[in-house]
């Protein structure tokens, strides 16, 4: 099989405050033989603008898709939100001729046209479908045996089913399987598929904090030593906001939240520094002692 | 024992109803199937927001659309509490995309009532200024280089602004009054 080659779409929030995700993803993908090409030019995926105007979201997303079509490569996203808007827009515009004509009308104003020639994938599907479990398993040089973690895939990498259609949103297994390849144990816990709450944190903090607190409770109750995410927004909710959640509920979690490529990277033999683990808000000091 | 309060049902006046509203809604992408909602309540039962908010109820939103309670819907701040997790969409036995309906209503609140939570106006302003919804400080961009990451490509802002203009979004954003925060209780 030829080497997988993707345009990396980092979106906004990763370069803004979560380079650790990008750094670790680039490290592991490079070693796994996935070639990443930089987007020549891009803008926000469009997702946050959907609340204002649906056509605006579709057109902003389509502009990025047109750029990728011009390069002639599929897009890989690291963010669930970017995956949601780019993948959904791509599928809708490929299927709905009338809507495609409308959006192409807007795109014509900037000299672009959506043709529907590329695909959009999230990191976890590039790993599971293109790289394959066998190759990842073989790349694990330092199995994380004895480590017990839990996963939070997040919503938009799974839902809505009719646009994603890869993993089962009611019982997702992709991220769990990917975690198990590292040698770590992946624990089941209550309400695994519940949303992190981050998307509405800008309008209301009470609800998202309660949602995230409940999730941290459930993860802790099964004895997980870390929570593994594959979306920057979920990660911010559980890592960056963890001290605030602790203060709001007068609880101490001290639960490290790792981006999946950080966990995989450790198992592949990268150092914590190479994977930017020092950038996490909740320091994984104990965790790193466990796997030494 | 305290006496239970007598339940007084909220009154809906007939002149409040827009009988054509559901037809208008069902022509919008994402809200096509609103009329076949049979009020089973699966969406509300499975909604992670409804568990923690006393007044965000997706089933009620679908019913209000069917009844044509347009103004009550568009002026209701609960509209902004949906986290778009799409659980309701995946679980609806009738294939009604509740999250899609909420999105259509949000778009209408912006267009017809000029209402928008402040955070989205700020994100849009950043997007029009930089191409990204967050204004990434120069020090961050510099740090990328130090960390061995490739420089972030510059957005073609002229094209982004054109998209805001031709979709009518720039005009909508100029007119909106912002909602600071939305209460959940």
Residues B159, A161: C-beta atoms closer than 8 Å: no
Q: Sorting pLDDT into bands at 50, 70 and 90, what band is B9? A: low
Distance CA A65, CA B62 (A): 33
Long-range Cβ contact pairs of A92-101 (< 8 A, separation 24 or more):
A92/A58, A92/A163, A92/B29, A93/A58, A93/A62, A93/A65, A99/A58, A99/B29
d(CA B97, CA B87): 10
**Residue B161 forms contact with A (CB below 8 Å):** no
Percent of chain B residues topping a pLDDT of 70: 95
φ and ψ of B96, to 5 deg: -80, 130
Distance from C-alpha of A232 to C-alpha of A215, rounded to nearest angstrom:
16
Spatial neighbors of B164 by CB under 8 A, at least 6 apart, are A56, B124, B128, B170, B173
Number of H helices, E strands in chain A: 14, 8
Average pLDDT for B111-133? 98
Residues 6+ apart with CB under 8 A from A243: A281, A282
Which of chain A's residues have a Cβ under 8 Å away from the Cβ of B104?
54
Whether the predicted pLDDT of B91 surpasses 90: yes
Structural tokens at position A52: 């204002």
Q: Which pairing describes strands A75-77 and A35-38: parallel, antiparallel, or unpaired?
A: unpaired
Smallest Cα distance from B1 to chain A, Å: 32
Q: Cis link prior to A76 (omega < 30° from 0)?
A: no
Q: Is the dihedral of CA A216, A221, A226, A227 positive or negative?
A: negative
Interface touch B116/A160, C-beta < 8 Å: no
Q: Which CA distances in Å does A107 have to A77, A120, A247, B28, B68?
A: 22, 19, 47, 21, 34
**Does position B2 have pLDDT exceeding 70, yes or no?**
no
Evaluate whether A113 touches A59 at the Cβ level (below 8 Å): no
Q: Please choose, from the candidates B79, B65, B29, B182, the residue with its C-alpha nearest in 3D space to the C-alpha of residue A201.
A: B182
Q: What is the dihedral of CA A113, A121, A81, A187, to 10 degrees?
A: 170
Which of A222-236, A260-274, B2-16, B144-158 is least confident? Answer: B2-16
The confidence score (pLDDT) of residue A173 equals 98
Q: Rounded mean pLDDT of B144-149? A: 94
Residue B73 has pLDDT above 90, yes or no: yes
How many beta-carbon contacts under 8 Å exist across A and B?
Answer: 187
- The reported pLDDT for the residue numbered B31 is 97
Q: What is the structure's pLDDT at A161? A: 97
Strands (E), chain B: 115-117, 177-179
- Using an 8 Å CB-CB cutoff, list chain B residues near A193: 87
Domain ranges of chain B: 14-113, 114-185
User: Nearest CB to B155: which of A38, A41, A195?
Assistant: A41
Q: What is the pLDDT of residue B3?
A: 54
Contact (CB, 8 A) for A30 and A6: no
Domains of chain A: 5-122 (1.20.1050.140), 133-290 (3.40.50.11810)
% chain B with pLDDT above 90:
87
Q: Are A192 and A216 within 8 A, CB to CB?
A: no
H helix or E strand, kind and range, residue B128: helix B118-130
Is the minimum CB–CB distance between B128 and chain A shorter than 8 Å? no
Q: Who contacts A143 (Cβ-Cβ below 8 Å, separation ≥6)?
A: A182, A183, A267
User: Which of A42, A106, A199 has its CB closest to that of B84?
Assistant: A199
For residue B57, what pLDDT is reported?
95
Tokens of B162: 């054109």
Q: What is the pLDDT of residue B1?
A: 45
Q: Do A155 and B86 touch (CB under 8 A)?
A: yes
Averaged in consecutive runs of 10 residues, what is the pLDDT profile of chain A (292 residues)?
90 96 98 98 98 98 98 98 98 97 98 98 98 98 97 98 96 98 98 96 96 98 98 98 98 98 98 97 96 84
Q: What pLDDT, on a 0 to 100 scale, did the predictor assign at position A103? A: 98
Q: Is A188 left (phi over 0), alpha (psi -120 to 50) or beta?
A: beta
d(CA B99, CA A225): 34
CATH class in words for B14-113: mainly alpha
For residue B4, the model assigns a pLDDT of 57
Name residues whose C-beta falls within 8 Å of residue B21's C-beta, 6 or more positions apart in sequence: B65, B68, B69, B70
Give the pair of three-digit tokens for residue B15.
């002149």
For chain A, say whether B143 makes contact (Cβ under 8 Å): yes
Task: Estimate the crossing angle of helix A54-71 against helix B157-166, to 10 degrees.
Answer: 140
pLDDT at position B130, please? 97
Considering CB atoms only, which of A39, A52, A159 is closest to B124? A52
- CB A85 within 8 Å of CB A163: no
Which run of H or E residues covers position A148?
Answer: strand A148-152
Q: Which is it for strands A35-38 and A5-9: parallel, antiparallel or unpaired? A: parallel
Contacts A22 to B, Cβ<8 Å = 149
Report chain A residues whose CB lies below 8 A from the CB of B132: 12, 15-16, 43-44
pLDDT tier, B8 (very low <50, low <70, confident <90, very high otherwise): low
């Amino acid at each position: 099989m030829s080497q997988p080659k993707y345009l990396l779409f980092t979106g906004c929030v990763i370069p803004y405050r979560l380079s650790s995700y990008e750094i670790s993803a680039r490290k592991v993908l490079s070693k796994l033989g996935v070639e990443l090409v930089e987007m020549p030019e891009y803008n926000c995926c469009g997702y946050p603008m959907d609340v204002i105007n649906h056509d605006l979201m579709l057109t902003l997303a389509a502009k990025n898709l047109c750029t990728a079509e011009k390069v002639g490569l599929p897009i890989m996203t690291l963010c669930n939100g970017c995956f949601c808007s780019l993948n959904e827009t791509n599928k809708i515009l490929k299927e709905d001729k009338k809507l495609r004509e409308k959006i192409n009308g807007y795109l014509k104003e900037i000299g672009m046209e959506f043709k529907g020639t590329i695909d959009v994938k999230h990191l976890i599907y590039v790993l599971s479908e293109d790289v394959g479990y066998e190759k990842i398993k073989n790349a694990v040089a330092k199995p994380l045996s004895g480590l017990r973690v839990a996963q939070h895939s997040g919503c938009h990498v799974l839902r809505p089913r009719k646009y994603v259609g890869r993993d089962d949103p009611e019982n997702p297994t992709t991220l769990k399987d990917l975690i198990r390849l590292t040698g770590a144990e992946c624990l089941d816990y209550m309400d695994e598929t519940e949303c992190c709450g981050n998307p509405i944190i800008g309008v209301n903090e009470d609800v998202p904090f309660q949602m995230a607190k409940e999730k941290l409770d459930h993860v802790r109750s099964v004895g997980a030593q870390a929570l593994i995410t594959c979306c920057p927004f979920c990660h911010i909710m559980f890592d960056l906001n963890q001290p605030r959640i602790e203060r709001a509920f007068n609880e101490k979690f001290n639960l490290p939240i790792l981006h999946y490529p950080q966990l995989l990277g450790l198992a592949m033999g990268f150092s914590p520094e190479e994977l930017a683990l020092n950038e996490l808000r909740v320091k994984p000091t104990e965790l790193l002692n466990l796997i030494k | 024992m305290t006496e239970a309060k007598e339940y007084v049902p909220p009154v809906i006046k007939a002149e409040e109803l827009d009988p054509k509203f559901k037809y208008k809604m069902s022509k919008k992408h994402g809200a096509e199937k609103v009329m076949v909602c049979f009020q089973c309540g699966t969406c509300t039962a499975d909604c992670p927001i409804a568990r923690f908010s006393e007044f965000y109820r997706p089933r009620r939103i679908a019913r209000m659309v069917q009844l044509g309670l347009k103004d009550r819907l568009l002026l209701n701040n609960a509209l902004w509490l949906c986290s778009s997790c799409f659980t309701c969409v995946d679980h609806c036995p009738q294939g009604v995309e509740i999250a899609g309906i909420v999105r259509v209503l949000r778009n209408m609140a912006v267009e017809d009532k000029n209402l928008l939570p402040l955070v989205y106006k700020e994100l849009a302003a950043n997007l029009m200024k930089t191409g990204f919804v967050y204004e990434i400080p120069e020090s961050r961009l510099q740090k990328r280089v130090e960390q061995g990451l490739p420089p972030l490509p510059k957005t073609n802002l002229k094209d982004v602004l054109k998209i805001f203009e031709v979709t009518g979004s720039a005009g909508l954003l100029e007119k909106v009054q912002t909602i600071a925060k939305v209460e959940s209780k």
